[in-house]
Each structure stands twice: as structure tokens, then as C-alpha cells.
């Protein structure tokens, strides 16, 4: 049994109006209201004008081919780790910035989410947590990397391909990246933040 991820972009001013200890529950309820019986398709589940079931302060994104699972994102991080030393420096730097801001954990990094007093912050359980001020750097990194993705094909096939496994083909890897780029760009356009909720 695996874990799932629900990616939402959020109006941060609205989120900050919610008491800290209630934010995770509010985001979870907003991303999938009990009275919503519509099928969630790949791409944006809603954007304003939203169905009445959904609030206007957040929007949910469904990644194609992932069935909502976090496993493809985790595997994509592994694929990047395997291929990153075999790509040009400028592309490596751009994708390092983009992916580390979203789901890739660099080897040897210390992912300590505790605050100065040792208590885990409210967002410590999130798979992804980017404030509106984090988003422009991710968008800029994607702008530098997105047009060069095809140059990844040969090194990916040589060092990271694993056909039949999650994100085992180059096309699956780039499709996932482009999905995240769409989420980041929409958050940037609105001045919103981004949260990946574990399910």
C-alpha cells in the first residue's frame, strides 16, 4: 500500500487566515469536498469559476498517469539522481533548483523540518510546501530547463531508464516535469503558493 499526493495551489492570504492547527484539514477538505461527485481528470480539477463544491482560494492538479500516487514523483527523483551528472551544467543547475523545490531530495541533504525550538511546523507532514515567494525561483528554473529537456533523452536512456517501472521511460519523466511546470506557472501567475498534501 503506497501513499498519495494531492497538489494544490493556494491563495496564501486565505490560508493564513485559517488557524495554524486547522490548515492541513482545511486544505484536505478544500481539495476534495465531500459533496463533489465529479470525476477528477488529468490536469486542473477546477479553476475559477469553480464548481460550487470547491472554494475559490485553491485549485487542485491531477498528474496524468500517476493515479494520484506519490510513487511516480519519488521515482522521478531517483531517475534525476541517476542522470544529473551526465547533463550540461546549466541544465543540471536549473533542474536541481526546480526539482529540489518540489519533490527531489538531493543525496546527503538534511531534510530537517523542525523549527528553532525543535517542534515540527504545521507543514512538516506536507510532501511539497512552497510559499508565494518560493514560486518565482521555481518558475525561472523551469524557464531555463524546459526548452532543453530533449537534451536529457540520451543520458536518461543510458543511465536512468527502467522500462516497465514507474517513470521508467524518458517520456514519462518529462510528462511529470511538465505537469509540475504547469502547477508552478499557474501559482506564479496568481501569486499563490503550492502545497502537496499526503493522502
Beta strands in 11-111 (DSSP E): 43-44, 58-62
pLDDT in tens, the chain (199 residues): 468 888 999 999 999 999 988 988 888 888 876 555 555 568 887 765 555 656 788 888 999 888 888 899 999 999 999 999 999 999 999 999 999 989 887 775 544 433 334 434 434 456 788 999 999 999 999 999 999 999 999 999 999 999 999 999 999 999 999 999 999 999 999 999 999 988 7
Residue 108 carries which DSSP code?
T
Peptide bond just before 49 cis, omega within 30 deg = yes
Largest CA distance in the chain: 49
Among positive and negative, which fits the CA dihedral 90, 108, 180, 150?
Answer: positive
The Cα–Cα gap between 114 and 145 comes to: 31
Report the predicted TM-score, pTM, of the whole model to 2 decimal places.
0.85
Q: What is the pLDDT of residues 78-109, one digit of tens each?
A: 999 999 999 999 999 999 999 998 988 777 55
Amino acid at each position: 500500500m503506497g501513499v498519495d499526493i494531492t497538489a494544490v495551489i493556494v491563495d496564501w492570504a486565505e490560508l493564513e487566515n485559517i488557524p495554524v492547527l486547522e490548515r492541513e484539514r482545511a486544505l484536505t477538505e478544500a481539495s476534495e469536498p465531500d459533496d463533489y461527485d465529479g470525476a477528477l481528470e488529468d490536469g486542473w480539477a477546477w479553476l475559477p469559476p469553480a464548481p460550487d463544491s470547491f472554494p475559490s482560494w485553491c485549485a487542485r492538479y491531477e498528474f496524468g498517469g500517476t493515479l494520484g500516487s506519490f510513487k511516480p514523483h519519488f521515482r522521478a527523483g531517483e531517475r534525476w539522481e541517476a542522470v544529473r551528472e551526465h547533463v550540461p551544467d546549466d541544465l543540471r543547475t536549473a533542474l536541481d533548483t526546480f526539482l529540489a523545490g518540489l519533490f527531489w531530495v538531493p543525496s546527503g541533504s538534511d531534510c530537517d523540518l523542525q523549527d528553532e525550538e525543535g517542534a515540527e511546523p504545521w507543514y512538516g507532514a506536507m510532501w511539497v510546501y512552497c510559499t508565494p515567494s518560493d514560486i518565482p525561483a521555481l518558475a525561472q528554473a523551469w524557464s531555463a530547463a524546459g526548452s532543453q529537456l530533449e537534451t536529457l533523452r540520451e543520458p536518461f536512456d543510458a543511465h536512468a531508464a527502467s522500462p516497465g517501472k514507474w517513470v521508467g521511460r524518458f517520456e514519462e519523466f518529462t510528462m511529470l516535469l511538465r505537469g509540475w511546470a504547469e502547477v508552478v506557472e499557474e501559482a506564479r501567475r496568481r501569486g499563490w503558493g503550492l502545497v502537496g498534501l499526503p493522502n
